[in-house]
Amino acid sequence: MTTRALEGRIALVTGSSRGIGAAIASTFASEGAAVVVHGRDADAIETVRAGIAARGGRAVGVVADLTDFAAVEALRQDAERAFGPVDVLVANAGGSPVRPGPVEDIAPEAWDESVAVNLTATFLTVKSFLPGMKERGRGVVITMSSAAARRPTAMSPVAYAAAKAGIEQLTKSITLQAGPAGVRAVCLAPETILTERNREQIPDDVQQSLRLAHPIQRLGRPDDVARAALFFASDAAGWVSGVTLDIAGGAVLA
């Protein structure tokens, strides 16, 4: 059952051709939003877009490199041509290109790549879309951190965790700067989410040990993150801004 909580809204979800982003895009569309599906794989984007359309939703797909500001600006213009100005921006795109290991073993170019695809991509996306939101006096920015930034361990992917921690600080700055203009900003921090890729890459015995490490003894699903994003995007969260929400089954305790 849907509530049509985003009826009439226009949403862009970056990195929504697979996994968590695809779940958010599909959930938003089912709740009435017109959705811009973004990624780097045109075929994967089309699969998500077609799925939304088959269920009666409205969506377009756009390919863009979020580490290139000119490409981000073109993405914004494509979204506006398709549906109009974006009301809800979910800066979800990111990844961990550097394997966990000692700080001294991280190659400088690998560090730069991790910061670029996570922190820089989020910054450039917000930089492009935030001015219009402030001018219109409304909007929601949802960014994506990770439990890696909230609960570091000796085996944390350091470059990824540092970039995600930077996204949390960026979100707080957006909150303070854009709040007076009517724009809210929140950050989501998922723990282990069983995306299709993680189901394939994490052996069953490791999945079981990870489950037992959570007070709620299961691993997360993409829909767990999508439902949280829906709440923050909706008017139900109209007085919530500047927070980071751990979606972690109780494994991350502030």
Q: Are 29 and 53 in contact (CB under 8 A)?
A: no
What sign does the dihedral 25-28-30-34 (CA atoms) show? negative
DSSP letter for each residue of 142-186: EEE--HHHHS--TTS-HHHHHHHHHHHHHHHHHHHHHGGGTEEEE
The residues assigned a catalytic role are 160
Q: DSSP 3-state helix, strand, coil percentages of the chain (rounded to 5)?
A: 50, 15, 35
Tell me how crowded residue 212 is: count the other CB atoms within 10 A of its CB. 8
